């Protein structure tokens, strides 16, 4: 948690051009900073979980069987925007294979992982709105442009329809 104290928090700024809109400016800056802090906190929690998985995996073997071979990044699209989680790569000398113990905590994936909540939003919003508007709304909600594209929204809706149908 001491790393949380090291998050650089920018000074809130109000300039001459925003007079009369000071509250709106303050609100937007606070939301932006808050989102950055929450993203950072999620990544810190992930790092702890990933390390726990690595430690549990290594505990199964003699100390000289597993070597650490860097990190691999996993792109996550979630209600906080786009995150890149680091997974520690291990090399098992006994099996002569690389693996990432932290992958056991993730859903099956081949590319970007979209969290359940973001998938739900992407499937619910098109009931009343066109895909282009959904794309903009999700970007606005997550504070990140194009967190999910129109075509990804369409694919998610089609997949969900198949599951339900």
β partners of residue 75: 84
CA atoms within 13 A on the CB side of 97: 4
pLDDT along the chain (165 residues), means of 10: 63 69 82 87 95 96 91 96 97 96 94 94 92 92 89 91 83
Give the predicted TM-score (pTM) of the model.
0.82
Q: For residue 62, tell me if it sits in a domain.
A: yes
- Do 27 and 75 lie in one domain? The reply is yes
CB atoms within 10 A of CB 24: 10
Q: For residue 139, tell me if it sits in a domain.
A: yes
- Do 88 and 149 lie in one domain? The reply is no
Tell me which residue range forms the domain holding 161: 115-165
Ordered alpha helix ranges (H), the chain: 22-58, 116-124, 131-142, 150-164
- Do 31 and 70 lie in one domain? The reply is yes
Per-residue model confidence (pLDDT) at position 62: 86
CB atoms within 10 A of CB 54: 20
Number of domains in the chain: 2
């Amino acid at each position: 948690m001491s790393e949380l104290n090291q998050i650089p928090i920018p000074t809130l700024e109000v300039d001459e051009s925003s007079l009369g809109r000071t509250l709106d400016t303050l609100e937007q800056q606070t939301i932006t900073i808050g989102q950055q802090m929450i993203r950072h906190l999620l990544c810190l929690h992930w790092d702890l979980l990933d390390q726990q998985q690595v430690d549990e995996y290594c505990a199964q073997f003699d100390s000289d069987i597993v070597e650490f071979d860097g990190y691999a990044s996993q792109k996550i699209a979630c209600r906080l925007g786009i995150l890149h989680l680091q997974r520690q790569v291990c090399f098992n000398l006994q099996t002569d294979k690389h693996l990432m113990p932290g992958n056991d905590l993730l859903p099956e994936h081949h590319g970007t992982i979209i969290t359940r909540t973001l998938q739900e939003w992407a499937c619910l919003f098109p009931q009343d709105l066109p895909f282009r508007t959904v794309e903009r709304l999700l970007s606005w909600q997550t504070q990140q442009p194009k967190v999910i594209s129109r075509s990804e929204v369409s694919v998610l809706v089609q997949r969900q329809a198949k599951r339900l149908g």
